[in-house]
Chains A and B, each alone.
Chain A
């Protein structure tokens, strides 16, 4: 699904955010990306989203070198990726329903079909009863779940999450992670960047660890204990 081949990223010619990154993610896999803040987690996700381009190496997604994508193809590429942001990036001038419907509106999905899928996504995150609420009226955890509903509403094959539990208490964080596991169970490839090591340790998935822009470990946690 995703292959990093000797990928490096420099900013302004000096600061090296990522250096010689090599790993592969198989279709349908779920894994974590950890490291201190500034270790390069966000840079790595931004490369996959094609918000930035690698300074060195190749980045293949679904077999395509995404650096070669023409500017006009990038939007269509991004529609294949659901993204959950730490600050959820909801639009505060419209209600929950309209926020979740945004990816479908962009793709020109028919209103009737769109409403059906939005409700399905909201149901999945347990917020069907809040579809008319404005994001400002929701709690942080609820806002994050709306963000997740928006990320999965068009059933993308790849789901990225950047510190999705950054502002949440342990119980809510566990709930969110369980949601990601559910999406993974139905075939979505899930990559979660998080520094919540305690939570990650409990979840028994593959973990990539970054330190100062380098990939320092890539291991399966909890192997042999039985899932």
Chain B
């Protein structure tokens, strides 16, 4: 606590002395918080290199879980978009004629759960197949087109259960041979995401603990270096809260600094990875960008890193104070 700065403050006039009790105590409390908060920040700035190293250690510990969380929310986003584009392929019996296949396609189109239906005639199918696989010669040698006509359906409700249900219904339509619903990999993506979420949680816990230990150890050294001051203020009637306060603020500053480091690393890393990710997405014909933290995510990152720092400070001072009890 530095009281020296306050003495230059101009004398205040008026109602100061008339107000008393809780009000003045609250103001004294706030004044002390402000003074201690600033003093702790100044102490950190006085040793910029070691403060920065501590913040880097915290930031690096936090960047992995935060990055995983980001990747996960990105994967969720992609999964949702892929699910939105979920389709069913209805294969008609090979015996169905082209005109009949159009009628069937119309029937399917009128189904209340079907958003849209696109008919691919046997001939179109063969052409697409040839183009895609470069099997022109092989197919040309066949007398008959072996491919059936098909209808590609976009469902109204894209949830896996509804899609599966719709598939069962469409399978019963006359002239339909088979309905393909490719949900397995969507399901797999979902399971992967669930696994990733747990992994993120576990890593977040572990690395958060790591950050806590970093702050705790740094604050422990700070407590050690201010041992005399703590002794003296305790002798003249400082409460534990008073003794603890500067270290809690130091811890919180370290945590906040670590959060900023983590934020910067994430932003830089995101920028660095954006180009290859874009290329990768394009090669799949998909379109997804690098997930970003956004305002809410950034606020949460900084808040939790500050909390971790505060907690680390608390643990370090608490241990010291517990050792110093009168016997």
Contacts and interface: CB of A to CB of B under 8 A. Distances in A.
A91 B231 CA distance: 10
Interface string A85-123: 000010101110110011111111111101100000000
B327 to A, nearest CB: 6
B15 interface: no
Contact of B235 (A49, A76, A98): A49
Interface string A56-87: 00000000000000011011111100010000
A59 to B, nearest CB: 13
Contacts of B232: 89, 91, 102
Contact of B237 (A52, A72, A107, A109): A107
Contacts of A52: 326-327
Interface of A: 49-53, 71-72, 74-79, 83, 89, 91, 93-95, 97-98, 101-112, 114-115, 150
Interface string B231-243: 1111111111010
Contacts of B2: 94, 98
A105 B32 contact: yes
10 contacts: A50-B326, A51-B235, A72-B240, A89-B228, A89-B232, A89-B235, A102-B233, A108-B25, A108-B29, A110-B31
B4 A79 contact: no
Contact of B3 (A50, A51, A74, A114): A114
B238 A75 contact: yes
B7 interface: yes
B152 interface: no
B77 interface: no
Given A101-B3, A108-B31, A83 B326 contact: no
A75 B242 CA distance: 10
Contact of A110 (B4, B28, B231, B236): B28
A76 B237 contact: yes
Contacts of B32: 105, 108
Interface size class of B (residues with CB under 8 A): 20 to 34
Contacts of B11: 112
Interface SS of B by simple majority:
helix
Interface in B1-54: 1-4, 6-7, 9, 11-12, 16, 24-25, 27-29, 31-32
Contacts of B1: 102, 105-106
Contacts of A95: 4
B239 A83 contact: no
A79 B237 contact: yes
B3 A110 contact: no
Interface string B293-327: 00000000000000000000000000000000111
A52 B326 CA distance: 5
A94 B326 contact: no
Given A75-B240, A102-B233, 5 more contacts: A93-B229, A104-B3, A106-B237, A108-B25, A114-B3
A98 B1 CA distance: 9
Nearest to A90: B232
B3 A105 contact: yes
Interface in B67-104: none
A111 B6 contact: yes
A191 B240 CA distance: 27
Contacts of A107: 237
A153 to B, nearest CB: 10
A134 B6 CA distance: 17
B47 to A, nearest CB: 14
Contacts of B3: 97-98, 101-102, 104-105, 111, 114
B294 to A, nearest CB: 41
